Amino acid sequence: MWQALYVAIWLSALLGLAVPLGRYMARVFSGERVFLTRILRPLEKLVHRLCGVDETREMTAREYGSSVVVFTLASLVLLFLLQALQRLLPLNPQCLAGVHWHTAINTAISFVTNTNWQSYGGEYTMSYFTQMLGLAVQNFVSAGVGIAAFLAMVRGFIRKETGTIGNFWSDMTRSIVYVLLPLSFVFALFLASQGVVQTLRPSTTVQTLEGTNQTIAVGPAASQIAIKQLGSNGGGFFNANSAHPFENPNWVSNFLELLAILLIPVALVFTLGHMLRNPKQGRALFYAMAVLFLLGLGIALASELAGNPALRQLGVENGSNLAGKETRFGIVNSVLWGQSTTCTSNGSVNSMHDAASPVTGLVYMFNMGIGEAIFGGVGVGLMTMLFYVVLTMFIAGLMIGRTPEFLGKKLGPFEMVMAVIGVLLPPVVLLIGAALAVLLPSARASLANPTAHGLSEILYAYLSAAGNNGSAFAGLNADTPFYNLTLGLTMLVGRFATILPGLAIAGALARKKRVPSSIATFPTTGILFVVMLVSVIIIVGALTYFPMFTLGPVLEHVTLTGGGAL
């Protein structure tokens, strides 16, 4: 059972880093001094002065939300222009042309929403200038927006009888300056030391042993890969993402890039506990997420290790499913990565999910389908989890005979509207998008495999967009106007249907009094809470996707195990 041992070691390493980071972030976001304050405070002040931010100015939920929307839309326009005009801009040694309008729109949405869905191939579409000033910058700020929104939501639970939930600009600056930048800096240096390229030189062309010419793409990769892993971005510098040796050269870099996917999302759960002055609450949410994570991981690992029954029938010994995987990483590293990346809305890959077994694909799709609540994207994942908590506590509150509350805040109709939007709107939009895709002949033409597997590919694309994940099931040529636009819209819904309801809940809760807890209050730190929360997530996910998953991965699985081709 060395696989289990490896997972255990990796998890311990993750916790060993995430727990202290969680405490560090809680201090930073509560405005306390940390060991980096001396160095970073001047930088933070400089940013504030340059941008004209008054960090003491408190915002209402409405102001906070408008700031997020304005900032995101402005970034979107800027990113679109950068791509469209890259031919005229510097640092374009490959002389790449301006990006197609619909690809550019899709990419702009994708990167400002922290999705990093890539309907293009990185190395032969985007100039270094676009990658560094456009995509890499968005990797930072879109993650910063996510953390800021999460902070505002937490303040809704902490504060009482006030109309404000913090200052968006200051929250975002602080999360970038104190968390994302230092971590990325260290991580990028480390990656470069392991052989990840970091250069502004153009691609090199070499003559291979067969005598043909091969173009080897290079570029400023290390700096972008660090933040792509840490900030739940996932957009690779190269098309092959972290399966590419220049992005992920060896097992050490793989181990750490894997850690980086989950580091901040996990740490934020503990940060939540510290900020609430209720570390037990943070741990309870961690346990709920960990249960779902390990459940999915176990299923996927079992399925991949069992391998393809069709191969077994052909007499292949030890038929683990190695299709689409880097042999240097093997099954466990690939599945662990796949599970981590689909749980966290990261979306970077080190294996091709398309080639995973149908059951593994089902697990990945479920992770995204429930709205990336299992650790989730930086900040926003925890917000989605809190929506589920609101739903859970509503039912739990009723069943103990109290009007529902969580952390001493009463949950009324308004909070319910927002939680329902946050949990249900993304699935509604993605189902409609996927249904359109299978209905339109032009969209169906993009499919390489028009079968149960093809259905999975389309579903996966929309699940990935709605979850702001960004990973792809491949096999689907999504760089068409239809897919670029519908997926773009789905990404926007996935992003704003999380952040805006979350801020609205924060604003409403901040205005409320806090009800003191008594023996009549349901303890939200116990095992019963964890079990109930996990059940609610699984049941909501199962009820939403039962028919589609039956026709996609489940049908593919029974066909596969039945031995016949469809």
Partner 1 sequence: MERRTATLIEPRLLLRALGQSLRKLSPVSLWRNPVMLAVELGALVTTVFIGIDAARGNGVGFVLQVSIWLWFTVIFANFAEALAEAQGSARAESLRKSRHDLVARVLREDGSTEPVPATKLRKDDVILLKDGEVIAGDGEVIEGTSLVDESAITGESAPVIREAGGDRSGVTGGSRVLSGSIKVRITANPGETFLDNMIKMVESARRHKTPNEIALEILLIGLTVLFIVVVVTLPAFAGYMGVSTTVPILISLLVCLMPTTIGGLLPAIGIAGTDRLLQHNIIALSGRAIEAAGDVDVVLLDKTGTITLGNRMATELIPATGATREETIEAAMLSSLSDETPEGRSIVVLCKNELGIKGRDIRAPEGAVFVPFSAQTRMSGIDASGRRIRKGSVDAVRAWVESAGGAFSDDLVRRVEALAAQGDTPLVIADGPRLIGVIRLKDVLKQGIKARLSQLRQLGIKSVMITGDNPLTAASIAAEAGLDDFAAQARPEVKLEMIRKYQADGHLLAMIGDGTNDAPALAQADVAVAMNAGTQAAREAANMIDLDSNPTKLLDIVEVGKQILITRGALTTFSIANDVSKYFAIVPAIFTAVYPRLGFLNVMHLTNPSSAVLAAVVFNAIIIPMLIPIALRGVRFRTTSVSALLRLNLLVYGVGGLLLPFLGIKLLDLLIVWLHLA
- When the beta carbons of 130 and 486 are compared against partner 1, the nearer one is 486
Helix (H) or strand (E) holding 215: strand 213-216
- When the beta carbons of 45 and 160 are compared against partner 1, the nearer one is 160
- CB of 200: closest distance to partner 1 in angstroms? 46
Q: Which amino acid is at 401?
A: G
Q: Is residue 1 packed enough to be buried (19+ CB in 10 Å), middle (13-18) or exposed (0-12)?
A: exposed
> Are residues 160 and 507 in contact, defined by beta-carbon separation less than 8 angstroms?
no
- When the beta carbons of 191 and 548 are compared against partner 1, the nearer one is 548
Handedness of CA 24, 25, 28, 30 (dihedral sign): negative
DSSP state, 445?
T
Task: Count other C-beta atoms under 10 Å from residue 445's C-beta.
Answer: 11
> Are residues 224 and 136 in contact, defined by beta-carbon separation less than 8 angstroms?
yes
- CB of 276: closest distance to partner 1 in angstroms? 16
Which residue's structure tokens are 């990483």? 329
- CB of 289: closest distance to partner 1 in angstroms? 21
> Are residues 254 and 261 in contact, defined by beta-carbon separation less than 8 angstroms?
no
Task: Count other C-beta atoms under 10 Å from residue 270's C-beta.
Answer: 24
- When the beta carbons of 88 and 439 are compared against partner 1, the nearer one is 439
- When the beta carbons of 268 and 452 are compared against partner 1, the nearer one is 452
- When the beta carbons of 200 and 440 are compared against partner 1, the nearer one is 440
- When the beta carbons of 181 and 551 are compared against partner 1, the nearer one is 551
> Are residues 371 and 384 in contact, defined by beta-carbon separation less than 8 angstroms?
yes
- When the beta carbons of 33 and 513 are compared against partner 1, the nearer one is 513
- CB of 541: closest distance to partner 1 in angstroms? 11
- CB of 401: closest distance to partner 1 in angstroms? 3
- When the beta carbons of 279 and 408 are compared against partner 1, the nearer one is 408
Residue whose C-alpha is closest to residue 269's, from 15, 49, 440, 549: 15
Q: Which amino acid is at 308?
A: N
> Are residues 243 and 351 in contact, defined by beta-carbon separation less than 8 angstroms?
yes
Cα Rg for the chain, rounded, in angstroms? 23
- CB of 161: closest distance to partner 1 in angstroms? 9
- CB of 515: closest distance to partner 1 in angstroms? 4
- CB of 447: closest distance to partner 1 in angstroms? 10
> Are residues 466 and 434 in contact, defined by beta-carbon separation less than 8 angstroms?
no
Which residues make up the interface to partner 1 (CB under 8 A)? 160, 391, 394-404, 408, 411-413, 415-417, 420-421, 423-424, 427-428, 431-432, 434-436, 438-439, 444, 452, 455, 513-516, 518-523, 526, 528, 532, 535, 539, 542-544, 546-548, 550-551, 554-555, 558-559, 562
Burial 204-217 (b: 16+ CB within 10 A, else e): eeeeeeeeeeeeeb
Residue whose C-alpha is closest to residue 256's, from 323, 175, 189: 189
Instruction: Give SS3 for 447.
Output: strand
